[in-house]
A and B are shown apart, each in its own frame.
Chain A
Amino acid sequence: MQQVDSADVDDLALGAAVLGCGGGGDAHLAKLMLHRAIDLHGPVPVVQAGDVPADGLVLPVAVAGAPAVLAEQFPGEGDARRALEAMQRYAGRRGVAVLPLGIGGIRTLFPLVAAAEVGLPCIDADGMRRPFPRLETTLFTLAGIDVSPVCVVGALGNTLVIDATDNHTGERLTRAAVAELGMVATVAAYPMNGEQCRAHAALGSLSRCREVGRLLRAIHSGTPGAHAAFLASTGAQVVFSGTVTDVLRRTSRGSTRGTATLEHLAEPDRLLRVDFQNENLVVTEAGRAVATVPDAITLLDVDTGWPVTTDSVTYGQRVEVLVVPAHERWREPDGLALGGPRAFGYDLDYVDRGLPV
Chain B
Amino acid sequence: MRTLRVGVDVGGTNTDAAAVDRDGTVVARHKATTSGDLMVGIRQALAAVLADVDRQAVTRLVLGTTQAVNAIVERRMLARVGVLRIGAPATSLVPPFTGWPGDLVEQAGGPVAMVRGGHDHEGKELAPLDEDAVAAFAAACAHRADAVAVAATGSVVNADHEQRAADMLDRLLPSCTVTPAHRVGGPGLIERENAAILNGALTGVIARLVRALGAALRELGLDCATYLTENDGTLLTADRAARYPVRTIASGPTNSMRGAHHLSGLDDAVVVDVGGSSTDVGVLSGGFPRVSTMPTEIGGVRTNYLLPDLISSALGGGSVVRPAPDGGYAVGPQSVGAAISTDALIFGGAVLTLSDVSVVAGRTAFGTVPASQLPVDGPTAAAVVASVDRRLAELTDRIRASAGTLPLVAVGGAAHLVPDELPGIRAVVRPADGAVANAVGAAVAEASGTAHRVYRFDLTSRRACLDEARQLAHEAAVRAGAAPDRVRITRIFEVPLAHLPGDSARVVVTAAGPLAEP
Contacts and interface: CB of A to CB of B under 8 A. Distances in A.
Q: Do A and B come from one complex?
A: yes
Interface stretch (B200-208, B410-418, B481-489, B500-508): B500-508
A256 B496 CA distance: 7
Contacts of B87: 73
A76 B92 contact: yes
Nearest to A35: B99
Contacts of B293: 312, 314, 317
Nearest to A258: B496
A29 B190 contact: yes
A157 B190 CA distance: 21
Contacts of B398: 303
A37 to B, nearest CB: 8
Contacts of B495: 68, 249, 311
B503 A71 contact: no
B395 to A, nearest CB: 11
B49 interface: no
Contacts of A51: none
Contact of A76 (B91, B499, B501): B91
Interface stretch (A96-104, A161-169, A179-187, A220-228): A179-187
Most chain B CB within 10 A, of A68, A78, A312, is at A68
Given A73-B90, A73-B154, A76-B90, A32 B499 contact: no
A298 to B, nearest CB: 16
A89 interface: no
Chain B interface secondary structure, helix, strand, loop or mixed? loop
Contacts of B498: 66-68, 251, 254-256, 278, 311
A66 B88 CA distance: 19
B417 to A, nearest CB: 23
Interface in A57-102: 65-69, 71-79
Interface residues on A, range: 35 or more
A136 to B, nearest CB: 16
A66 B402 contact: no
Contact of A318 (B188, B290, B401): B401
B402 A32 contact: no
A36 B90 contact: no
Interface string B378-418: 00000000000000000000100111000000000000000
Interface of A: 28-29, 31-33, 35-37, 65-69, 71-79, 113, 155-157, 179, 182-184, 243, 245, 249-252, 254-256, 263, 265, 268, 278, 303-304, 306, 311-312, 314-318
27 contacts: A31-B99, A32-B99, A66-B121, A66-B499, A68-B121, A68-B498, A72-B189, A73-B121, A74-B94, A75-B91, A75-B93, A76-B88, A76-B92, A156-B90, A182-B126, A183-B500, A243-B402, A249-B496, A250-B496, A250-B503, A254-B498, A255-B498, A255-B499, A263-B403, A265-B403, A314-B293, A316-B401
Given A73-B90, A179-B501, 10 more contacts: A36-B94, A67-B498, A73-B118, A74-B91, A156-B89, A245-B402, A254-B498, A254-B499, A256-B496, A303-B398
